[in-house]
Amino acid sequence: MSNNSRVPSGGRNGGGSERGRGDSGYERRDARGRQRSAARVRGERPVSRQAPGERAKRTDAARTVAFDVLRQVDESDAYANLVLPPLLAERRIRGRDAGFATELTYGTLRMRGRYDAVLAHCVDRPLGDLDPAVLDVLRLGAHQLLGMRVPSHAAVSETVALARAGVGAGPAQFVNAVLRRVSEVEPGEWLERLTAAAPDEVSALAVVESHPAWIARSLREALAGHGRDVAELGDLLRADNAAPRVTLVARPGLVDTSDDDAWHDADLLPGTWAPTALVLDGNDPGAVPAVRDGRAGVQDEGSQLVTLALAGVPIEDSDGEGERWLDLCAGPGGKAALLAAMAAQFGATLVANEIQPHRARLVERALQAIPDGVVEEVRTGDGREVGAAEPSSYDRVLVDAPCTGLGALRRRPESRWRRAPSDLATLTGLQRELLASALDAVKPGGVVAYVTCSPVLAETQLVVTDVLRRRDDVERLDTPAALRRALRTAPDGSRPEIPLPAGDKARDDVQLWPHVHGTDAMHLTLLRKKS
Ligand SMILES: C[S@@+](CC[C@H](N)C(=O)[O-])C[C@H]1O[C@@H](n2cnc3c(N)ncnc32)[C@H](O)[C@@H]1O
């Protein structure tokens, strides 16, 4: 598209809003559930900067709530998944409208990179020069046009109404003109144009699959470094754009799948890999009694597997007095609760450490259903100091290190846009210190699990290699074997075949992937302190 066809920001081109009937699911939602028709909105005097409650009466409530969440994400660094549910409840947006608002909010945030690239073709100046609120309205319109089945006329007219109510009549005309430009090109054709405009293959994938280019490059490097084919990058990026299934953990010894009272009428399916995993089909986890009372929790299956792998490693030379386990970075407590449930079964005890007091309180809450006597202590402290303060004190230590979270992009739609390459330098220093401290804190013969929810090489292999280079008292364990021992067992004794690199690509650590395993991209390296 030539510059000539771009819309001058602040210009008045673009005619009145279009409107008509469509036959998609989202159009039916309008016909059935919308609070007021767009025609009525158009008939009203243009207003700007109203209170959200006032605006919600005049424009479509679902679009308004999506806009308000996007503004909070931008202005206050809010997390969309924490802001949206209470706003939906407060404004009594339910059912189909709530589903529309959720898809519109999360989809717009996730696919922002793709939509910004499209919008940049349609606006005559850098998007960074636009009023951020106008840019958010344009992104919402782009998602309806290119990512949802909303008919063009409805997507444009409703978004223009939203712009008029949220940012004023002048910007609404600009929004109308830009979205009409966007709608003139088919979604598939836009992807071809974005691909053609990118300087290389990875940049093209990054823009089309809406990832910052540096993240796409880091993930490509991670695929290669962890023994996978770099040609999988597209699948990996696409997996990041799909909302994950809600997986529960049934904490062993605390709850059973046959316990009807615990699960109420939740639709549960067994997980793929972990014996503790249950997939919740469509229900709200907060409504499940076992989740509310801490016998179960919401936890990615990869997180469950790495925790079970640590708990199941055979330990040599244990003194027979019952093992002591340590979770060095425990907040908010998902893995600590699974570890504690396993510790209860093995006659072990657990210390949970977390540097942030409010997160330490979340750990306490996560451990509420653990039987008395299992949790020695939940403490607030710097994990880097534990090794020196308590040398050779624990049989098993989990280091679930603070990391970029680039393996869990599916869960936080906005997180990929918040990270910067400079975060890596700070985090990798901390990761090294925490792992070194854990190795000091573990007893000879004991095991340390180094875990991240990032596959990035600088946070995984390089941290482990660097820490081990400085000491000769640690050996690497066969982590794939430990992970396989943790897999669910069928009644005939068989276990699922978990795909891990083999042959000359085989490794002694484990990297899980969303596009391969359906889990977050969890990394696990198991290390033993020599006896
Ligand atoms: C990846 S999260 C742990 C998640 C947790 N294992 C779970 O499953 O719920 C990392 C945690 O480490 C904490 N942390 C950061 N620096 C720390 C330090 N120096 N010592 C202890 N904890 C730290 C963070 O506050 C954060 O809660």
Whether 107 is in the pocket of ligand 1, judged by its Cβ within 6 Å, is no
Domain around 428: 299-529
Tell me how far apart the terminal alpha carbons of the chain are, to the nearest angstrom: 68
Whether 332 is in the pocket of ligand 1, judged by its Cβ within 6 Å, is yes
Strand partners, 203: none
Smallest CA separation from ligand 1 atom 11, residue: 329
Q: Last residue of some domain: 167, 187, 207?
A: 187
Section 376-387 average pLDDT: 98
207 within domain boundaries:
no
Section 84-100 average pLDDT: 95
Indicate whether 308 and 180 sit together in one domain. Answer: no
Mutate to test the pocket of ligand 1, among 247, 304, 329 (most ligand atoms within 8 A of CB): 329
Whether 383 is in the pocket of ligand 1, judged by its Cβ within 6 Å, is yes
Section 196-225 average pLDDT: 98
Q: Last residue of some domain: 140, 170, 187?
A: 187
Indicate whether 175 and 307 sit together in one domain. Answer: no
Q: Annotated binding residues, as ranges?
A: 329-335, 354, 382, 400
Instruction: Assign 248 to helix, strand or coil.
Output: strand
Identify the sign of the CA torsion 175, 195, 213, 461.
Answer: positive
Q: What is the pLDDT confidence band of residue 317, given thresholds at 50, 70 and 90?
A: low
Structure tokens that stand for 94 in this block = 């339910």
Q: Annotated binding residues for S-adenosyl-L-methionine, as ranges?
A: 329-335, 354, 382, 400
| Rounded CA separation 65/89 (Å) | 11
**Span from the CA of 404 to the centroid of ligand 1 (angstroms):** 12
522 within domain boundaries:
yes
User: What does the pLDDT read at residue 149?
Assistant: 86
**Exposed / middle / buried, residue 470 (Cβ in 10 Å: 0-12, 13-18, 19+):** exposed
265 within domain boundaries:
no
Categorise residue 311: left if φ over 0, alpha if ψ from -120 to 50, beta otherwise.
Answer: alpha
Whether 384 is in the pocket of ligand 1, judged by its Cβ within 6 Å, is yes
> Looking at per-residue confidence, does 425 or 52 come out higher?
425
The CATH number of the domain holding residue 516 is 3.40.50.150
**Span from the CA of 330 to the centroid of ligand 1 (angstroms):** 5
268-291: pLDDT as tens digits: 999 999 999 999 987 789 899 999
Indicate whether 346 and 472 sit together in one domain. Answer: yes
Q: How many structural domains compose the chain?
A: 2
**Span from the CA of 327 to the centroid of ligand 1 (angstroms):** 9
278 within domain boundaries:
no
289 within domain boundaries:
no
Indicate whether 307 and 434 sit together in one domain. Answer: yes
Q: Which atom of ligand 1 is nearest to the CA of 452?
A: 1
38 within domain boundaries:
yes
> Looking at per-residue confidence, does 287 or 3 come out higher?
287
| Rounded CA separation 226/480 (Å) | 13
Q: What is the mean pLDDT of the chain?
A: 90
pTM, to two decimals: 0.90
The Cα angle at residue 118 between residues 98 and 111, in degrees rounded to 5: 40
328-346: pLDDT as tens digits: 999 999 999 999 999 999 9
Q: Which atom of ligand 1 is nearest to the CA of 405?
A: 1
Q: Is 122 a catalytic residue?
A: no
**Span from the CA of 165 to the centroid of ligand 1 (angstroms):** 42
Section 201-227 average pLDDT: 98
Whether 402 is in the pocket of ligand 1, judged by its Cβ within 6 Å, is yes
Among residues 453, 468, 477, 526, the one annotated as catalytic is 453
Q: Which atom of ligand 1 is nearest to the CA of 356?
A: 25
Q: Which atom of ligand 1 is nearest to the CA of 382?
A: 20
421 within domain boundaries:
yes
| Rounded CA separation 84/34 (Å) | 18
Identify the sign of the CA torsion 512, 513, 516, 519.
Answer: positive
Whether 382 is in the pocket of ligand 1, judged by its Cβ within 6 Å, is yes
Query: Which ipTM value was assigned to this complex?
Result: 1.00
Strands (E), 157-206: none
245 within domain boundaries:
no
The CATH number of the domain holding residue 88 is 1.10.940.10
> Looking at per-residue confidence, does 318 or 130 come out higher?
130
**Span from the CA of 97 to the centroid of ligand 1 (angstroms):** 37
Which of these, 51, 34, 182, 41, lies nearest to 100 by C-alpha position? 34
**Span from the CA of 332 to the centroid of ligand 1 (angstroms):** 8
Indicate whether 306 and 181 sit together in one domain. Answer: no
> Looking at per-residue confidence, does 192 or 1 come out higher?
192
| Rounded CA separation 298/339 (Å) | 15
